[in-house]
């Protein structure tokens, strides 16, 4: 079935590279116009904007730290002035401190929680104002298996993803009556720049490959396809769920 997002306006946070870039391009291929948020690397954001335009969509790039309320205000103001509205919000940007619990500080904790989980609350408030009344909206957060499993060095990020999935459920319950769908897509290990920060990268990739029934790692495009499905009328009765895209990795003991 062809999924048509013509006329839809999308924001992808952390959309400049990795999984966010794949989501931005997939939604543009389906007809949407896409705003890309990034924090540091403008060249990556510009490359993604080129890919969006090549797919036929209008693109804009916005530098903002999603954990900063002034930056969020300015980002949504820019979207309002260029796009006039927002139909789909993809909360994908993430950061975090990868350390054993014995080395974590409260600063690490707050940093990770604010960027990965806390931001969804003010962003959802901005989104409600930007969504035209009486239309259907989608908020999709990108999560990870650390929300439900213990992964070495991943305590702060895993806890932030568990919090994120909980915010998704609570937001979904509040917003379903306004025709706003709120869901999460959780991915298995995906080879992106993010993995370079893991001290045990090679071992993680090897173990994931060995333990994935589907026989390969999850790609950014696998995640993007599920996001596209959730943005379509095919997912009309899905509210507050976390859909796991991992080739079956998490079903094995």
Q: Is 158 in the site for ligand NAP (CB under 6 A)?
A: no
Identify which of residues 19 and 55 has a Cβ nearer to ligand NAP in the complex. Answer: 19
Tell me whether residue 154 is one of the annotated catalytic residues.
yes
Site map 23..62 versus ligand NAP, x via CB under 6 A = --------------xxxxx--x------------------
Q: Is 208 in the site for ligand NAP (CB under 6 A)?
A: no
* 224 within 8 A of 22, measured Cβ to Cβ: yes
- The residue within the footprint of ligand NAP, chosen from 28, 142, 147, 171 (CB under 6 A), is 142
Q: Is 187 in the site for ligand NAP (CB under 6 A)?
A: yes
Tokens encoding 135 = 């239309």
Q: Is 69 in the site for ligand NAP (CB under 6 A)?
A: no
SS (H, E, C) 198-235: CCCHHHHHHHHHHHCCCCCCECHHHHHHHHHHHCCHHH
* 10 within 8 A of 27, measured Cβ to Cβ: yes
Q: Is 149 in the site for ligand NAP (CB under 6 A)?
A: no
- The residue within the footprint of ligand NAP, chosen from 79, 92, 97, 130 (CB under 6 A), is 92
Which residues have a catalytic role annotated?
154, 161
Residue numbers at the binding site for ligand NAP (CB under 6 A): 13-14, 16-20, 37-41, 44, 65-67, 92-95, 115, 142, 144, 187, 189-190, 192-195
């Amino acid at each position: 079935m062809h999924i048509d997002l013509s006329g839809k306006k999308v924001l992808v946070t952390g959309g400049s590279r990795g999984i966010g870039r794949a989501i931005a391009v997939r939604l543009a291929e389906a007809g949407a116009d896409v705003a890309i948020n990034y924090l540091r690397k403008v060249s990556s954001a510009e490359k993604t904007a080129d890919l969006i335009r090549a797919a036929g969509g209008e693109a804009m790039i916005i530098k903002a730290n999603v954990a900063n309320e002034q930056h969020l205000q300015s980002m949504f103001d820019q979207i309002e002035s260029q796009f006039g509205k927002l139909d789909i919000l993809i909360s994908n940007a993430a950061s975090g401190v990868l350390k054993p619990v014995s080395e974590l500080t409260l600063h690490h904790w707050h940093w990770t929680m604010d960027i990965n989980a806390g931001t969804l609350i003010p962003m959802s408030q901005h989104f409600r104002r930007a969504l035209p009344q009486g239309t259907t909206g989608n908020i999709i957060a990108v999560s990870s298996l650390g929300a439900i499993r213990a992964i070495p060095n991943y305590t702060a990020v895993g806890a932030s993803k568990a919090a994120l999935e909980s915010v998704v459920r609570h937001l979904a319950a509040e917003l379903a009556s306004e025709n706003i769908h709120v869901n999460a897509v959780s991915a298995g290990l995906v080879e992106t720049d993010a993995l370079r920060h893991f001290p045990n990268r090679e071992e993680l990739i090897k173990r994931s490959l060995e333990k994935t029934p589907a026989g390969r790692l999850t790609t950014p495009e696998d995640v993007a396809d599920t996001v596209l499905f959730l943005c379509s009328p095919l997912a009309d009765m899905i509210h507050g769920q976390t859909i796991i895209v991992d080739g079956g990795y998490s079903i094995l003991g």
